[in-house]
Every structure is written in C-alpha cells, then in structure tokens.
C-alpha cells in the first residue's frame, strides 16, 4: 500500500512538472506596486520547498509562462508576491477573483538542499525577492537568524505588516546597507533580489564563506531542455531552472 | 481511425509532428513525463565541432505571441555529445534527427562524418540558419548552402536535411542549392532576427541585442515560405517549422505543403503540446472522414482542395 501511495504521489508530482494544472485566482491583496496573490487548484498536490518556483500562464495565452517563487503554501494552494508589471503579472494584478490560471512545477532545488545545515543564515531580499525568503524563514526557522528585506517604497508595509522592512524612500537605506549593520562573521547569507543588489553583496561579501544568491532569468521550458536560463559558474554551466536557483556566490565570479 | 503516419525520407514516421531543434534539448529530460512515442521524430540541439557556451544572459525574453531567444548554439560539442549523450539517445522511443553545424563546410561535415560512425544516427539536420551567431546565416547564400550540403553529403549516408532561414537570402535559391547538393529535404524556417528594448532603461533586453523570434508571431511567415517552396519544388520533403502551437496552425502548415511539422516554441510553453497535437490531428481527420493525413498535405496549393 505504501509503495502504491508513493508511486501515486510520484506520478502526481511528475505530472505537474510536465503538464499544466488548472487553477484559479482565489485571493489578492494589492498595494501601490506589489500584490500578494493566491492561486488554488485541488489538483496541485506538489509540496514546494522554499526557493522552488512554479510557472504560471493565463488561459491559452501564446506567450512564455512566467516564473514565480512560492511565498507560502497550503494543500492545493500557493501564494506569490508579485510586482505590478509584465504580461502575466498584470493579469494576476487585474483579473477578477475566480479567473483561471494554469500552474506547472515546482521547479528548481529547495534552498535547504543546497546549503550546509550546520550554520545559521541571514536572509536578504530586495523587492519581490522577499517571497522565497519568507518561505524559507517559515520552513527552516532553525537555519535562520533574521531577515533584511528592502523595498524602495513604503507601500510594501501594507502587504507585510508584521515583518520589519527597510524602506529606502523613508530611511535612505537599502537592504545591503542594513545588512552591513547586522551581519557578523560566522553567519551565512541567503540573498534574492535585483541584480544590482546582488552585485553590491558580491562586492561586500566576496570570499566570505556560505554566501548564496538566488538568481532570476526568463524561464522558458522550466524542465532544463531549452537552455534559456543557462549561466556560467565556476562549477561549469548550470541551468537556473533545474540546478538553481540558489548558487554559492563564490561560483559566480562574473557577479561584480 | 485516421492514419497519421507519414511515409517520407525512406521511413515511416508515427506522426507528422516532430520536435524542432532547440527547446527539446536532447530529449532525455522529457522521457519521464512526455510520451515521445506520439511524435514523429525529435531533433536535438545543434552540435558543433567544439563546445559552445552560447550567448550571455539575458538570452530569452517573451514577446507578444512568441519569444525572442539568443541562446547561440549552446552545446557540449561533438566529443561530449558522442561520449555522454549519444549512447543515451537509444532510450528515446522516437526517431532522432541530430542537428549539426560548424564554422565551415568541412567542419560541419566533420561532425556529420563522426556521427555516421554511430549506427543509431541516420538522420542529420544541417543548421544553416541560426540568427544568433556571427557565422550562423549560412543559408542566406546559396553558394554556401551548396558547399555545406555537398560536404555533409559526402560524409554522411543517412537522411540529410538543410534548415534554412526565413528572412535572409532567396529561399527558393537556397532550397534549390540544398536539394541539388544532395539534401533529402529542407526545414523551413528558423527563428527570425528581432529585438526587444527594456523601455524602463532604454537598453536592448537581450545581452546580444538581437535574437531569433519564434512562436505564433511568425506563423504566417513560415506558412508563406513553406507554400512558396512547395509550389516551386513539388517533390521536395519539407519540414515546416514556425509558430505551430495548436491544431489549427498544425493543419495550416500541412495544407501549405509541409510533410512534417516542427514544434519549437510550443514545447517551451507546454511540454505535452506535440503529443496532444498528434491526438487532436487524428480526431480532426476522423471527424471529416479523411483516411490519412497524407490527403491534406499541400492542399492549399489546389484551386479546389479535394480532401475537404
């Protein structure tokens, strides 16, 4: 019986990697520039590890689907934190509750599988990079010693009311500035955000052990075949969709 | 039940739907979740004599009704292909076409010659039209097409296809050159050169500025090219590729004159698309009491399409 259950589960997981699962928009809270969005699908049986992402498409739109990191999940539902720009994102932003969206995934390797578990990490995010970090903080609280989450504008506070944020338009500081004040040798760092933020971190923490960055790229297939997201690393060529999205900073010498 | 098999290139293919070079990689990642028995053939990523890292990121961006890529022939090179990938291609439950190119006719033919030593490889597609590398648009020059195909023909006994550009050179001259030099057929068309600009920064979105446009946006262009070539070369084998993502566009491509239809962009959006299309095509033919897909090939060339 157990083997049957395992096989059924494996098949369900595999199905959602290669086939679209019908879902619909069931909840959304918006601020000026961001939204928390929940997509629900009874058929969505996959368990998502922090750092993994799914592809979302709107109807039969003949466009590339859009990748979103999962911020939180419950059975049959996934929550994302999305900016208000871009084709799929605009649909998520504007479509009436109940609008169908298809989902496939999850893709990528959970952060926890990529990092040593014998140390604790400061989580650093800029903008919608906050999504996988909050997911990690919830799933791997024992590996986490705090978070530095930066936003340019204060409206993000409305969506994340219980989480201290670094708001640039209020304090003049970015996440990287705050990180300098709280990081101590011995702490690892997990970072996700705009490339400009990651470059600052690379400048500040190059050579520091256990600094990891979560990379973004336009994802094509999600399953590792199209090579649209392939990058060069010190450990050889890697695909963000199947080998990432988290990489040791030391493996990304071009990130300067 | 309608027959969707295709007798071309000296073999029977289970479906006119084939996976185009690029988005399906080497097919190995698809085995776990895609029933490749439903597709006529799978075309691998293009193999070059030496490894290529391709272009820098960003190298993929979405477009209205398509995508622009500048992947740039990213591939492990002939040696790694032979050692690490080729032995595993026998796992694929479909026929395999290996895409090949090189910086010169001799270099590309060298790859073809090495592949001819592998008993499992009997179909090659010469990629003469990559819009993303400086030496890619070989197909714009009929003399170059002739030189590449002649060299590959001398090196390889199996099926040889030439993939030509849809937006550079005279396609009819290119097709004639390819067929006269010994190609068994032509694949039309590759992605079309284009660009996008990040309008918040004013910079081209792709690091390499230009990329190849694929997806439904290019379907009408691909149809016109296939139609033109079919009209000029009634007996040529044509693999029509460009923007086919659903049953309607698949049928259009067959009616324009394609014998086989390549799916590229569509596979990125939906890994199941090629399998689904084979089933949908069979049902569509059944609903019209059409016995075989062969009956609709090229019928848009007829004044009164006889099959409908």
ipTM of the complex: 0.91
Pairing state between β A53-57 and B203-204? unpaired
Kindly report the backbone phi and psi dihedral angles of residue B31, in degrees, each rounded to the nearest multiple of 5, phi listed first. Answer: -55, -40
Interacting residues of B250 by C-beta distance below 8 A, sequence separation 6+:
B16, B17, B244, B261, B277, B280, B281
Can you give the pLDDT at residue A11? 56
Average pLDDT value for residue range A227-253: 96
Query: CB–CB of A63 and B30 under 8 A?
Result: no
CA distances in angstroms from A30 to A72, A95, A152, listed in the order given: 17, 12, 16
Alpha helices (H) along B34-100: 77-80
Can you give the pLDDT at residue A12? 54
- Mean pLDDT lowest among A162-166, B33-37, B118-122: B118-122
Contact B190, B168 (CB under 8 A): no
CA distances in angstroms from A2 to A7, A9, A43, A114, B204, listed in the order given: 9, 10, 21, 29, 54
Identify which of B54, B65, B270 has the shortest CB distance to residue A227. B54
Per-residue pLDDT band at A62 (split at 50, 70, 90)? confident
Q: Smallest CA–CA separation between A146 and chain B, in Å? A: 31
Average pLDDT value for residue range B50-72: 94
Neighbour tally for A98: CB within 10 Å: 8
Can you give the pLDDT at residue A213? 97
Give Cα A84 distance to the centre of its chain: 16
Can you give the pLDDT at residue A5? 54
Flag whether residue B244 sits within 8 Å of chain A, measured between CB atoms: no
The model's pLDDT over B195-234, given as tens digits with 9 standing for 90+, comes to 999 988 999 999 999 999 999 999 999 999 999 999 999 9
How buried is A175 (Cβ within 10 angstroms: 0-12 exposed, 13-18 middle, 19+ buried)? buried
Q: Smallest CA–CA separation between A18 and chain B, in Å? A: 6
Query: CB–CB of A226 and B30 under 8 A?
Result: no
Cβ–Cβ pairs < 8 A, chains A and B: 98
Structure token pair of residue B298: 């090229």
Can you give the pLDDT at residue A1? 41
In this predicted structure, the answer to whether residue B303 has a pLDDT above a threshold of 70 is yes
Query: CB–CB of B62 and A63 under 8 A?
Result: yes
Average pLDDT value for residue range A62-87: 89
Flag whether residue B64 sits within 8 Å of chain A, measured between CB atoms: yes
Neighbour tally for A57: CB within 10 Å: 22
Can you give the pLDDT at residue B137? 82
How buried is B207 (Cβ within 10 angstroms: 0-12 exposed, 13-18 middle, 19+ buried)? middle
* Test the B interface: residue of A226, A245, A254 with most B CBs within 10 Å: A226
Q: Smallest CA–CA separation between A61 and chain B, in Å? A: 8
* Test the B interface: residue of A84, A227, A232, A247 with most B CBs within 10 Å: A227
As a whole number of angstroms, the distance between CA B223 and CA B240 comes to 8
As a whole number of angstroms, the distance between CA A129 and CA A127 comes to 5
Interacting residues of A194 by C-beta distance below 8 A, sequence separation 6+:
A126, A127, A129
Identify which of A18, A64, A224 has the shortest CB distance to residue B272. A18
Can you give the pLDDT at residue A6? 54
Interacting residues of A7 by C-beta distance below 8 A, sequence separation 6+:
none
The model's pLDDT over A96-111, given as tens digits with 9 standing for 90+, comes to 999 999 999 999 999 9
Interacting residues of B174 by C-beta distance below 8 A, sequence separation 6+:
B128, B139, B140, B142, B145, B162, B164, B165, B186
Q: Smallest CA–CA separation between B177 and chain A, in Å? A: 31
Flag whether residue B24 sits within 8 Å of chain A, measured between CB atoms: yes
DSSP B36: G
Pairing state between β B260-263 and B17-19? parallel
Per-residue pLDDT band at A10 (split at 50, 70, 90)? low
In this predicted structure, the answer to whether residue A86 has a pLDDT above a threshold of 80 is no
pTM of the full predicted structure? 0.93
Give the nearest chain B residue to A240 (CA atoms): B57
Q: Which residues of B are catalytic?
A: 130
Query: CB–CB of A65 and B54 under 8 A?
Result: no
Structure token pair of residue A153: 């504008």
Flag whether residue B5 sits within 8 Å of chain A, measured between CB atoms: no
Average pLDDT value for residue range A162-184: 92
Contact A109, A244 (CB under 8 A): yes
Q: CB-side exposure of B241: number of CA atoms within 13 Å?
A: 33
Give the nearest chain B residue to A228 (CA atoms): B60
Query: CB–CB of A64 and B62 under 8 A?
Result: yes
Query: CB–CB of B267 and A221 under 8 A?
Result: yes
In this predicted structure, the answer to whether residue A189 has a pLDDT above a threshold of 60 is yes
Within 8 A of A64 by CB-CB distance, chain B residues are: 60, 62, 67, 268-269
Per-residue pLDDT band at A15 (split at 50, 70, 90)? confident
Give the nearest chain B residue to A230 (CA atoms): B57
**Residue corresponding to tokens 């520039």:** A33
As a whole number of angstroms, the distance between CA A184 and CA A44 comes to 40
Query: CB–CB of A225 and B30 under 8 A?
Result: yes
Give, for A100, the enclosing helix (H) or strand (E). strand A100-107
**Residue corresponding to tokens 């010169």:** B104
Within 8 A of A219 by CB-CB distance, chain B residues are: 60
In this predicted structure, the answer to whether residue A215 has a pLDDT above a threshold of 70 is yes
Identify which of B25, B58, B65 has the shortest CB distance to residue A63. B65
Q: Which residues pair with B3 in a beta bridge?
A: B292
Structure token pair of residue B28: 């190995």
Flag whether residue B29 sits within 8 Å of chain A, measured between CB atoms: yes
Kindly report the backbone phi and psi dihedral angles of residue A118, in degrees, each rounded to the nearest multiple of 5, phi listed first. Answer: -105, 20
What mean pLDDT value characterizes chain B?
A: 95
Can you give the pLDDT at residue B306? 76
Within 8 A of B27 by CB-CB distance, chain A residues are: 225
- Mean pLDDT lowest among B85-99, B118-132, B182-196: B118-132
As a whole number of angstroms, the distance between CA B182 and CA B285 comes to 34
In this predicted structure, the answer to whether residue B78 has a pLDDT above a threshold of 70 is yes
């Amino acid at each position: 019986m157990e083997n049957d259950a395992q096989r059924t589960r494996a098949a369900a997981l595999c199905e959602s990697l290669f086939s679209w699962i019908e879902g619909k928009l069931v909840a959304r809270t918006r601020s000026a520039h961001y939204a928390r969005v929940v997509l629900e699908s009874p058929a969505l049986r996959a368990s998502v590890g922090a750092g993994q992402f799914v592809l979302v498409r709107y109807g039969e739109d003949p466009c590339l689907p859009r990748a979103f990191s999962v911020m939180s999940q419950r059975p049959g539902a996934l929550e994302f934190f999305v900016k208000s720009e871009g084709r799929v994102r605009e649909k998520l932003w504007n479509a009436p509750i109940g609008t169908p969206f298809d989902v496939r995934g999850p893709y990528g390797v959970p952060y926890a599988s990529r990092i040593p578990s014998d140390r604790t990490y400061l989580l650093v995010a800029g903008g919608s990079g906050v999504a996988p970090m909050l997911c990690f903080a919830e799933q791997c609280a024992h590996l986490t010693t705090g978070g530095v989450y930066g936003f340019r504008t204060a409206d993000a506070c409305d969506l994340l009311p219980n989480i201290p944020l670094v708001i640039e338009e209020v304090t003049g500081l970015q996440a990287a500035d705050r990180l300098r004040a709280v990081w101590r040798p011995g702490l690892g760092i997990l970072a996700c955000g705009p490339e400009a933020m990651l470059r600052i971190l690379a400048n500040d923490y190059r050579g520091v052990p256990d600094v990891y960055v979560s990379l973004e790229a336009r994802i094509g297939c999600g399953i590792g075949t199209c090579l649209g997201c392939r990058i060069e690393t010190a450990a050889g060529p890697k695909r963000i969709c199947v080998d990432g999205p988290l990489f040791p900073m030391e493996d990304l010498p071009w990130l300067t | 039940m309608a027959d969707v098999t295709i007798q071309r290139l000296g073999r029977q293919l289970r479906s006119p739907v084939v996976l185009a070079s690029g988005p399906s990689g080497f097919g190995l990642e698809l085995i776990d979740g895609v029933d490749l028995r439903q597709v006529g053939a799978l075309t691998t990523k293009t193999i070059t004599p030496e490894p290529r890292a391709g272009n820098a990121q960003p190298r993929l961006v979405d477009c209205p009704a398509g995508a622009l890529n500048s992947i740039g022939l990213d591939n492990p090179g002939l040696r790694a292909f032979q050692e690490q990938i080729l032995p595993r291609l026998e796992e694929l439950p479909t026929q395999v076409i290996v895409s090949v190119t090189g910086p010169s006719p001799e270099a590309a033919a060298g790859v073809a010659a090495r592949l001819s030593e592998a008993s499992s490889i009997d179909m090659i597609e010469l990629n003469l039209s990559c819009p993303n590398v400086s030496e890619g648009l070989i197909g714009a020059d009929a003399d170059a097409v002739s030189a590449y195909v002649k060299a590959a023909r001398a090196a390889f006994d199996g099926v040889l296809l030439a993939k030509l550009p849809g937006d550079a050179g005279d396609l009819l001259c290119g097709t004639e050159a390819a067929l006269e030099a010994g190609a068994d057929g032509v694949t039309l068309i590759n992605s079309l050169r284009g660009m996008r600009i990040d309008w918040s920064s004013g910079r081209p979105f792709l690091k390499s500025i230009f990329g190849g446009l694929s997806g439904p946006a290019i379907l009408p262009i691909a149809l016109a090219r296939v139609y033109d070539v079919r009209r000029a070369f009634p007996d040529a084998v044509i693999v029509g590729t460009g923007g086919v993502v659903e049953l309607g566009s698949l049928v259009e491509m067959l009616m324009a004159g394609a014998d086989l239809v390549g799916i590229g962009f569509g596979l990125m959006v939906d890994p199941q698309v090629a399998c689904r299309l084979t089933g949908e095509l069979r049902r569509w033919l059944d609903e019209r009491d059409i016995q075989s897909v062969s009956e609709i090939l090229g019928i848009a060339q007829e004044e009164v399409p006889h099959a409908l």
